[in-house]
Amino acid sequence: MKTNTLILHTAALAIMPLQLMFSVFLLLRGHDEPGGGFIGGLVAASAFVLYAFAFGAESTRKLLRVSPRDILAAGLLFGLASTIPAFWTGQAMLTALWWEVPLPGEGYLKLSTVLIFDIGVYLAVLGTLMTFVISLMESDE
């Protein structure tokens, strides 16, 4: 279902980058505050759905550059990878572990298994919804 309205095309091109940036903000804000992988993935998927409504399923597939199923699989692998550090340290599965990586100059970057898991959820939600939406749109065409 491709529409030929100038307003929708312009809006989709203007809003999509903002939605994607907001989805990354929600992902990184994540675990302890409202946000995280699920809602971030929903916002990212809504950006691609808006693009799909404006330009069609084939254009959206080209924009994604990889199959939505591959995005889903990558999300599942990230979720699985988040369990490995706890396994190596002999702790319970999905135990949150944190690392401080020194930055050039002053300060530290805090990384955690929680972030890895949230990225996995983000990708899994995005891949699932895009597989669903694109499949429905292609069955209509």
For residue 96, what pLDDT is reported?
Answer: 86
Contacts of 46 (CB under 8 A, 6+ apart): 19
Contact 120, 110 (CB under 8 A): no
| Burial of residue 6, with CB atoms counted within 10 A of its CB: 0-12 exposed, 13-18 middle, 19 or more buried | exposed
State the alpha helices, DSSP H only, in the chain: 6-29, 37-55, 57-64, 68-81, 84-88, 113-140
For residue 141, what pLDDT is reported?
Answer: 66
Domain ranges in the chain are: 4-138
Question: Which residues of the chain carry a pLDDT beneath 70?
Answer: 1-3, 31, 141
How far apart are the C-alpha atoms of 55 and 101, rounded to whole Å?
42
For residue 13, what pLDDT is reported?
Answer: 95
For residue 30, what pLDDT is reported?
Answer: 78
| Burial of residue 105, with CB atoms counted within 10 A of its CB: 0-12 exposed, 13-18 middle, 19 or more buried | exposed
